[in-house]
Amino acid sequence: MEFAVESGLKTMESGEGIRRNQALICAPLMADTVDQMVDLMHKAKSKGADIVEIRLDHLKIFNPCSDIEKMIKVCPLPTLFTYRPLWEGGQYAGDEKSRFEALRLAMELGADHIDIELKAAHEFNDFLHGNKPGKCKVIISSHNYDNTPPVKDLGNLITRIQAAGADIIKFATTALDITDVARVFQITVHSQVPIIAMVMGERGLMSRILCPKFGGYLTFGTLEAGQVSAPGQPTIEELVNLYNFRLLEPDTKVFGIIGNPVSHSKSPKLYNEAFKSVGFNGVYLHLLVDDVPKFFRTYSSLDFAGFSVTIPHKEAALACCDEVDPVAKSIGAVNCVVRRPDGKLFGCNTDYVGAISSIEDGLRGSQNGSTGTGSPLAGKLFVVIGAGGAGKALAYGAKEKGARVAIANRTYDRARELADVVGGQALSLAELDNFRPEKGMILANTTSIGMHPKVNDTPVSKEALANYMLVFDAVYTPKITRLLREAAESGAQIVTGVDMFIGQAYEQYERFTGLPAPKVQFKKIMEN
């Protein structure tokens, strides 16, 4: 299914000035006692929630008459009362009449919203006899914990929820694949009625963050990580400070990191902070992708503007691009995909750019570095340890800058293979200690030797390091590996894997935004 919806809603300004949309952040509150519930209300307000969902089904001791009145009276935020039964994923196991009674009481005592399930809505309407207090908005909800149905079925569901008398429509489905979210966006953006539409699970995270872009009424944000009322909910803190939820609007461009796994990535922090500081209208997300071609086919609109690509999708992403940078083509992998104004996908590899530019900066910073206009790598002997993807990228990058390349690898045959392609010499890792054809060489480790937890490992002896003017290590946990420590002690300039990570992000940022990369800011964010 193609998803080429471009949301055409007007930007909504609020009096706060820092808020570009009217979408609400709702904190689900789950506690055993009313006093604990009240504490959570104040916590939700201090964290920046707009509204709280009071989950009555979680209360262990509950006296509807006095407790509901107390909670409405002391709550510092607008309220939504939910009394979710077991059969819809909640905790309430009692009879329907008592449940309806509590919800009616909430409506009469001044609740702003109540939530009733579609399966019980007609029965609840009969119970009310048409006496619905004017102030309270009724959310009619449906939860699918198995999958996300086709668009036609979702459309029929919306019609049924509306027909049941909903002031606000709510439905939640489950993402089996990240492309499921596109169907929900399609429904949300065309809804004539206020709508809350969520896709549960990690693959559905995008639905929760992009709610303001597609015109959703609210999204759920938890008080603490892990304390969720449904799978995949982010925290309020993440929504507001990591994803800049308040600044999202219909024409916000979407960027993200495609990988599996991907939740550990620090890229969203890097890009979103930079976007916010320069006022760039974009958001950068974690995108847990299983099927790369399907992802690009589904999110084909210009709104989905650029992607970083990480393990294991770099080769698959290359095959999806309409045009690929020649170096990336030679390397056989892309880590950056940009959607051009004509909708075509352009792929490039900034992994090598990140490493090579940080090595060049290191050379320019050392007194022996050339100060000419060309690359300080030109004419230098550049020794790459490792013949995998990263080794390949660095070998190509160094060669492109005019360096002479040597490849050292545990298995000589792999080294030979790569050396033949880039026109360099090959040696086994065992031979590297005695490889000293000249002084002032460059060494780049692209293997995982020395990575946490094996921090005492190093690919080359300290004695051999005296022949190198600069040593680079792609490993960045720890930041200073044994290799780098010993290189510095031997008098070499050192460049860390963190510099490579930041370096590869510079070019991606510039390709995504058309703006110069905020280099100082990127460094500061990574230090924190």
434 burial level (CB within 10 Å; 0-12, 13-18, 19+): exposed
Catalytic residue among 67, 112, 351, 473: 351
Catalytic residue among 58, 113, 137, 170: 170
Catalytic residue among 143, 286, 380, 401: 143
For 403, residues 6+ apart whose C-beta sits below 8 A from its C-beta are 375, 377, 378, 379, 380, 381, 382, 442
89 burial level (CB within 10 Å; 0-12, 13-18, 19+): middle
Phi, psi angles (nearest 5°) of residue 325: -55, 140
Is 143 annotated as catalytic?
yes
465 burial level (CB within 10 Å; 0-12, 13-18, 19+): buried
Output the DSSP codes for 372-426: SSS-TTTT-EEEEE--SHHHHHHHHHHHHTT-EEEEEESSHHHHHHHHHHHT-EE
Is 473 annotated as catalytic?
no
Q: Among 281, 473, 468, which residue's Cα sits nearest to residue 394?
A: 473
CB distance 81 to 109 below 8 Å? no
DSSP state letter for 490: T
Amino acid, res. 270: L
Is 322 annotated as catalytic?
no
Q: Among 77, 63, 217, 66, which residue's Cα sits nearest to residue 138?
A: 217
Q: How many Cα atoms occupy the beta-carbon half-sphere of 164 within 13 Å?
A: 26
Angle between helices 519-527 and 267-278 (to 10 degrees): 140
For 248, residues 6+ apart whose C-beta sits below 8 A from its C-beta are 20, 21, 23, 209, 210, 212, 213, 283
The helix or strand, by DSSP H or E, that contains position 314, with its residue range, turns out to be helix 314-320
DSSP state letter for 469: E
Catalytic residue among 137, 286, 314, 392: 314
Is 325 annotated as catalytic?
no
Query: Beta 425-428 vs 336-339: how paired, if at all?
Result: unpaired
- Which residues are known catalytic residues? 143, 170, 314, 351
